[in-house]
Amino acid sequence: MDITALRRSLLRWFSRSKRPLPWRRTRDAYAIWVSEMMLQQTTVATVIPYYERFLKRFPDATSLAAAREDEVLALWSGLGYYSRARNLRHAARQLLENHGGEFPKDIEAAMTLKGVGRYTASAVTSIAYGMPNAVVDGNVRRVLSRLHAVRNPGEAEAREKAAALLSTRSPGAWNEAMMELGATICTPRNPRCEICPIAAQCLGRHRPLHWSEGKPRRASIPTVVEMALVERGDRILLTRNQEGGLMGGLYELPHGGLPLRHAPTQTLRDRYRGTLEVDSEPAAAFRHAVTHHRIDARVFRARLAGRKGVADAAFHRIPAALALPLGGLTRKALRASGLLRS
């Protein structure tokens, strides 16, 4: 394998073919770090508007560290995997306390930050600072498997092979190029080997799928969630999920059926018996996904029953509710019910 020719071909391809993503217009370590945290288990198209809004409100570690958790979660609302937002805020405070507000150049120091593992530390330090740290994510691992014709390399082997290929002159561009190749050309199911810039060097190009057998996907769990839409004038009733559980800490319409610690199978009517009068037929229905749960959601109009009210619930005007950490499930419910357009 001619590594010099391989590097030249891949970097040339990346220079002319890379997608114009907003985080590629900066070398600010903080902004790159935010993008990497958002991109974990989330598509590029989904991340872009969240990234732009987040940086507008929190342009640096100082502003993020000073923010209330609810404000951070509200901007993250709908992006999912909310522990990432909490980790970002916590790590921003670590940056101020221990690193002068700057993301560390040293990879070991970077990995002491909350939520920052070797991949994220390598990506940020190489792209922002030009540090010679090779990244290995799912895309890079697939490229390495096919390139070397090695099936399912272990973590240590993958890191070793990635480090051997790394361009020390342009480590950030190289890492981005490897990830871009895996995301757009060397894809899991339909790799476009005929236009791959490093096909001539690839030992596994004749049987690419053989060398990159993926892990079996976790079976999705079908779940039915019933939600209550209780209106009082221009306000809606919202509860808050318990911390630590599925969608912990988020505001939602009163609901039943969501796998929560206190009542994993409780229906809407059972959960709010004596406090809500629920219509017999749903006013709206939609589908939603939360981690491995495939949710069929049904929205029922409801009214408060008697004077007792719903524990830990309050009425909020919709514009004010949108400034809360509102769960994606409730956002979809409000759209399906015609109360929210965007």
The DSSP line for 226-279 is EEEEEEETTEEEEEEPPTTSTTTT-EE-SEESS--SS-TT--HHHHTTTTEEE-
Strand ranges for the chain from DSSP E: 221-232, 235-240, 251-252, 255-256, 276-278, 284-290, 293-304, 313-317
Phi-psi region of 142 (alpha: psi -120 to 50; beta: other; left: phi over 0): alpha
Phi-psi region of 130 (alpha: psi -120 to 50; beta: other; left: phi over 0): left
- Spatial separation of the C-alpha atoms in residues 132 and 167, rounded to whole Å: 8
For residue 145, CA distances in Å to 151, 157, 168, 205, 209 come to 6, 10, 21, 10, 10
For residues 153 and 161, what is the distance between their CA atoms, to the nearest angstrom?
Answer: 10
Rounded to whole angstroms, how far apart are CA atoms 263 and 250?
17
List the Cα angle 100/101/103 in 5-degree steps: 105
DSSP state of 58: -
Question: Which residues sit opposite 296 in a β-bridge?
Answer: 224, 287
Q: Do 155 and 199 meet the contact criterion of CB atoms below 8 Å apart?
A: no
Buried b (16+ CB within 10 A) or exposed e, 12-31: ebbeeeeeeeebeeeeebbb
The yes-or-no answer on residue 36 being catalytic is yes
- Choosing from 36, 176, 180, 252, the catalytic residue is 36
Radius of gyration of the chain from its Cα atoms, rounded to whole angstroms: 24
Residue corresponding to tokens 């790590």: 91
- Contact in structure between 20 and 26 (CB atoms under 8 Å): no
Report which DSSP code applies to 209.
Answer: T
Active site residues: 36
